[in-house]
Structure 1
């Protein structure tokens, strides 16, 4: 199971053209070795990779979509019962805009990202410089919950909240 993934096309009620989906996925992933893809139900598929490196590259490649619908992956655990999988977590890069200069540090970037979701990664800018237009943070989000569009944070501890906008990539 170490080389397996289960994927589900979500956020869409459209009927999927399975052959087209399989052809597109195989082409855009460009794995070194063949990926065996099986349809489990209407929009749930299993992906069996020949090697762990191909699987890691696909996972780290970011969000995947087909016909403007997000594809969410889960790694099988335990017995790998697909009916127990929720398909409700996805990684996104978020941009936190309008952050004041006092917020331009690794510690604050991580804190602000943790308000949005579970922080996976962040980009401190070129050479560790945090003076940027926005703070980019990669977070795990529960996609079945509403997205935050802004953060109000009392950055100075004086009771005055600063409004920061959140944009999703």
Structure 2
């Protein structure tokens, strides 16, 4: 897994991956840009298993952290033009899970015919 993910992500600053047991791994990125691109950019799977990330805070034990939530970018199609607003995006996000972010860049440029929102979802459901 280490080699596959490191080759797939191509982190500029490098990444170290430590196996903690109990199906848990610690990924240490040495560049904030790599962390943002990998963890905040998309959802990842390995061998059809969802990778659930948690940004460890100082002193947190990686084996004690509850890995119950993950974030997804969701695309919503066939909306009338007047519905491409952050208010509507928040309503959709909170309906799906918990609203996190709204990608307004592509909407204002007229590049997409869908709304793109980031939502936090409880993976137990």
Q: Same fold (TM over 0.5)?
A: yes
- 5+ unaligned residues in a row in structure 2: which ranges? none
Give 1:86's aligned residue.
66
Pairs within 5 Å for 1:3-152: 21-97=1-77, 99=79, 103-124=83-104, 125-127=106-108, 132=113, 134-145=114-125
Q: With structure 2 as the length reference, what TM-score do the two structures score?
A: 0.79
Q: Distance in 2 between matches of 1:87 and 1:141?
A: 11
Partner residue, 1:151: none
SS at match of 1:76: coil
- 2:17/2:28 contact within 8 Å kept: yes
Aligned residues: 123
TM superposition shift of 1:41: 0.1
Q: Give me the whole-angstrom Cα distance separating, in 2, the residues matched to 1:53 and 1:109.
A: 26
**Cα deviation 1:50-79 (Å, max 9, x = unaligned):** 233322222123111111111011111242
Aligned-pair CA distance for 1:104 = 4.0
Q: Deviations over 1:52-109 (max 9, x none)?
A: 3322222123111111111011111242112321111111122345656664433122
Query: TM-score if structure 1 supplies the norm length?
Result: 0.61
Unmatched segments (≥5 aa) in structure 1: 1-20, 146-169
Q: What is the CA RMSD across the aligned residues, in angstroms?
A: 2.4
Does the C-alpha gap of structure 1 residues 40 and 95 become closer, same or farther in structure 2, counting only changes over 3 Å? same
- 1:101-158 per-position Cα deviation (integer Å, ceiling 9, x unaligned): 66443312222222212222223453266x94x433211111112xxxxxxxxxxxxx
Task: Please state whether the residue corresponding to 2:52 is helix, strand or coil.
Answer: strand
